[in-house]
Chains A and B, each alone.
Chain A
């Protein structure tokens, strides 16, 4: 059995997957769900939602994600990473929540898969460039060995020829491999290949193709004729055997754990290549990044990545991708007038074909998908995370409006993605700060309990939107924001003590170092990203003490509660902080 497992098997014909169908099958008793996203990518996953174990094959293929029918967990095209859990609308699913991905590829009209990664050798290698004619796949209630035994002696009659002269050819096996049978005659150019899919211990699926593909007008006749003969073959084989139940059920299941974890597995740093760069608006360059090998980690709308530049700097950029666009990341980089070397480098030195390191994505700007109305306010380059959100909302029945404030129409970025939004996108061109505020007041209105606001853009604009919303009665919980930078003048010099409640360590934070620095010096590994109190990655829980927050990540309510701090910038008003680590 072990030999057979490390092979590629056809598990579906590509035609089986049309129209966002969610296809269900098995390989050696392992249940598979197979679905094709609108970008053409074919996913072969374990047929099980990680939440309660429901079959994902009863779920919904929305063209970009597979949604479990029961509690709406969403899994991303390509990576199988969970992107959203409706029961926890304000949280990001952990990146470890990732369905099992089986190795697979598409060739000769079929989806091929295997229980473990194996060589590139296929049971059928066709030299003909033409796509073959794919036959109707036939499941037999017969174990694999029985089908193999009977197929050795099987022959097929095929009628072919011109309309006035139909010749009958009898096809006998010329080559018989354990999982693939080729039938041909000496006086015909056509061969029939039959390939076996070991479904489980009682069932086998015969997939077949004819090569070269017959002329269009005779294809249906070929399909009908071979289907009839295969159905007859099935009837004979099924009636000749008595099924020996459950032989595979006792076998060791360890191979299941060796299956490749696919692209969804967590990576800390990965190499990407710039596959495209383009000027998308005045001073804004779009970059498209593809993995050098393997796939890209699952992302959620609002997420950002850290780019580690060859000049030693790290910079955060939001992904503008819509759901399911897992083959590439796209970011927008605005040239900053006072660039410290990040945007300037990217604009001037990073070209197509260049490689760089990337980590993330992190998502600290989380999109709730449980409110009837979402208002997105973008200022300039602040569009980027909101563009990803708008595309995610566009795929739901929740309504949203994306308000995009820029200086002029030449400043509108990523317009190639706008068509899908219709009148849900409102652009506001060339408004002064006072006019912008007036427009925000009109658009927001008083709080209606049905809406959520998301804002991203220049710090002054975000602050204005937050203050305006508060004055109109919006609670901080309904107003979400992401600052790209922290413009607060930071206290970096006070000294205080931190006590780590879980490990019992007490450490001092001296003038010039941050809590994050001190933690790292003492061996506490903590992820960070922007290191200026804007992104939320280095957050820890606070148990005691009076913090001096200094961040622009938490909202007013969260600052007041004083239960979380950003270790990269937060300091202390009291002598001591007790941290929940």
Chain B
């Protein structure tokens, strides 16, 4: 059984919750009082993760931190189709890794702006927002041309990959950090498609996209 040390409002924890549900991995959540309790900085939690960060998983004693590491581990172990992290297709795996690195950028800009606005983190908010818009422009252009090629996802595959999954939370919650998406129609359509995936899970601030029949 996987235990996730979790905070409902964290984008990085949400990434892990999304995959746990997409892959129907049996798990339990261990809520951490991230705000205002700073429980992730408590003595007991530093024994779980000396860096004092969440998410962390404990898979029957195997402890792993960092959202990307956790996602790669869970996808490789549980995704029988190998579509989320396509280890059998080198070029697709390269693309996936490339866009996962890109998502580090959106987390450090769009999601940082959100932490600034909602939890009072001391970031340079203008730089965060400007950085997010730069990356969103690139992503929108990429997704628009993917649509022209009849591709629905960030990478050139039929099914979504971890690249879509790690980008999604930063994008869908960006307006909580003052980064609106009105200028990125291709991104907005991609969020519709992602939210229509089977076993997609919501979090606070994420709304349903409605069904497509």
A and B are interacting partners? yes
Given known contacts A220-B148, A223-B145, is B207 in contact with A69 (CB within 8 Å)? yes
CB within 8 Å of B: which A63-86 residues: 63, 67, 69
Q: Which residues of B contact A20 (CB under 8 A)?
A: 192, 210, 212
A69 to B188, CA, bound (A): 16
- With an 8 A cutoff between CB atoms, is A537 at the interface? no
CB of A180 within 8 A of chain B?
A: no
Q: Are A24 and B188 in contact (CB under 8 A)?
A: yes
A315 vs B145: C-alpha distance when bound (angstroms): 56
Q: In the complex, A367 Cα to B144 Cα: how many Å?
A: 42
**Contact of B50 with A by CB under 8 A:** no
Rounded to whole angstroms, the CA-CA distance of A18 and B149 in the bound complex is 15
B189 on interface, CB distance cutoff 8 Å = yes
Which one, A21, A67, A203, contacts B183 given CB within 8 A? Answer: A203
Q: Is A160 on the interface with B (CB-CB < 8 A)? A: no
Would you call A62 an interface residue if the criterion is a C-beta within 8 Å of the partner chain's C-beta atoms?
yes
| Bound form: Cα–Cα A24–B193 in Å | 17
Whether B213 is near chain A, meaning CB under 8 Å from some CB there, is yes
Name the distance in Å between A20's Cβ and chain B's nearest Cβ: 6
Interface residues of B, CB < 8 Å — how many?
Answer: 20
Given known A18-B189, A19-B189, A26-B182, contact A61–B207 (CB-CB < 8 A): no
- How far, in whole Å, are A223 and B141 apart by their CA atoms in the complex? 11
Within 8 A of A (CB), among B72-124: none
Main secondary structure of the interface of A (DSSP, over half): mixed
> Which of chain B's residues has its CB closest to A228's CB?
B141
Q: Which one of A15, A24, A25, A60 contacts B209 once the chains associate, using CB atoms below 8 Å?
A: A60
Q: Is A23 interfacial (CB-CB < 8 Å)?
A: yes
CB distance from B177 to the nearest CB of A (A): 16
10-60 of chain B: CB within 8 A of chain A: none
A137 to B140, CA, bound (A): 11
Question: Which A residue sits closest to B181, measured CB to CB?
Answer: A24
Q: Are A25 and B141 in contact, with the CB atoms below 8 A?
A: no
Q: Cα distance A69–B175 when bound, in Å?
A: 16
A61→B212 CA distance, assembly (Å): 9
How many angstroms between the C-alpha atoms of A464 and B185 in the bound complex?
56
Q: In the complex the two chains form, what is the Cα distance from A271 to B182 in whole Å?
A: 40
Interchain CA distance A23-B192 in the complex, whole Å: 11
B209 to chain A, nearest CB (A): 7
Pick from B185, B189, B210: contact of A60, CB under 8 Å: B210
Query: Which residues of chain B in 191-213 are interfacial with respect to chain A, using CB atoms and an 8 Å cutoff?
Result: 192-193, 207-213
Contact mask for chain A residues 31-67; partner B; CB cutoff 8 A; 1 contact, 0 none = 0000000000000000000000000001011110001
Q: State whether A227 and B141 are in contact (beta carbons under 8 Å apart), knowing that A19-B212, A60-B208 are contacts in the complex.
A: yes
B184 to A, closest residue via Cβ: A139
Complex: A62 Cα to B185 Cα, angstroms: 19
**Complex CA distance for A426 and B120, rounded to whole angstroms:** 59
Chain B nearest CB, measured from A532 CB (Å)? 41
Distance between Cα atoms of A227 and B211 in the complex (Å): 32
In the complex, which residues 136-172 of chain A have their Cβ closer than 8 Å to any Cβ of chain B?
136-137, 139
CB neighbours of B189 from chain A (8 A): 16, 18-19, 21
Near B by CB (< 8 A), chain A positions 207-239 give 220, 223-224, 227, 231
Interface contact B141-A136, CB-CB below 8 Å: yes
Output the least CB separation between B184 and chain A (Å): 8
Indicate whether A62 sits within 8 Å of B210 (C-beta atoms), given known contacts A136-B141, A203-B183, A231-B141: yes
Given the complex of chains A and B, what is the CA–CA distance between A137 and B185 in angstroms? Answer: 9
Closest to B147 in A: A15
Report whether B182 and A25 are in contact in the complex, using a CB–CB cutoff of 8 Å.
Answer: yes
Q: How far is the CA of A63 from the CA of B213 in the complex (A)?
A: 9
CB <8 Å contact, B185 and A61: no
Residues of B within 8 A of A227 (CB): 141, 145
B135-170 contacts to A, CB under 8 A, are: 141, 144-145, 147-149
From residue A67, how far is it (CB to closest CB) to chain B in Å?
7
Residues from chain A with a CB closer than 8 A to the CB of B144 are 136
Once A136-B141, A136-B144, A220-B149 are accepted as A-B contacts, the answer to whether A23 and B212 lie under 8 Å apart by CB is no
Chain B proximity mask over A1-18: 1 for CB below 8 Å, otherwise 0: 000000000001001101
Q: Check A61/B210 contact, CB under 8 A, given A220-B149, A223-B148, A224-B145.
A: yes
Q: Which B residues are CB-close (under 8 A) to A26?
A: 182
Most buried by A among B183, B188, B208: B183
Which residues on A sit within 8 Å (CB–CB) of B147?
15
- Which of B149, B182, B208 has the most chain A CB atoms closer than 10 A to its own CB? B182
* The one of B141, B149, B188, B211 that contacts A21, using a Cβ cutoff of 8 Å: B188
Take A136-B141, A220-B149 as given contacts and tell me if A23 and B185 are in contact as well, using a CB distance cutoff of 8 Å: yes
In the complex, chain A residues whose CB is within 8 Å of the CB of B145: 136, 220, 223-224, 227
Task: Tell me which residues from 114 to 143 in chain A have a Cβ below 8 Å from any Cβ of chain B.
Answer: 136-137, 139
The interface residues of chain A lying within 8 Å CB-to-CB of B149 are 220
Distance between A205 CB and nearest chain B CB, rounded to angstroms: 8
Give complex CA distance A18, B145 in Å: 15
Check B183–A139 contact: CB distance below 8 A. Answer: yes
Give Cα distance in the complex from A15 to B147, angstroms.
Answer: 10
Q: Are B210 and A21 interface neighbours, CB within 8 A?
A: no
Residue contact A16 to B208, C-beta cutoff 8 Å: no
Please give me the residue from chain A that is nearest to B191 by CB atom.
Answer: A21
A62 contact set on B, CB distance < 8 A: 210-211
- Rounded to whole Å, the gap between the CB of B48 and the closest CB of chain A is 37
Chain B hits for A139, CB < 8 A: 183
Closest to A58 in B: B207
Is the CB–CB distance between B192 and A19 below 8 Å?
yes
Least CB separation from A223: chain B residue: B148
Q: Which residue of B lies closest to A25 (CB)?
A: B182
Subset of 17 A-B contacts with CB under 8 Å: A12-B185, A19-B189, A19-B193, A19-B212, A21-B185, A21-B188, A24-B182, A24-B188, A60-B208, A60-B210, A62-B211, A137-B185, A220-B148, A220-B149, A223-B145, A227-B145, A231-B141
- Known interface pairs A24-B188, A26-B182, A60-B209; 14 further A-B residue pairs with C-beta atoms within 8 A, sorted by A's residue number: A15-B147, A16-B185, A16-B189, A19-B192, A19-B212, A20-B192, A20-B210, A21-B188, A58-B207, A62-B211, A136-B144, A224-B145, A227-B141, A227-B145
A-B interface, 3 closest residue pairs, ranked by CB to CB distance from nearest = A60-B210, A139-B183, A69-B207
- B-side residues, CB < 8 A to A, are 141, 144-145, 147-149, 182-183, 185, 188-189, 192-193, 207-213
The residues of A with any CB-CB pair to B shorter than 8 Å are: 12, 15-16, 18-21, 23-26, 58, 60-63, 67, 69, 136-137, 139, 203, 220, 223-224, 227, 231
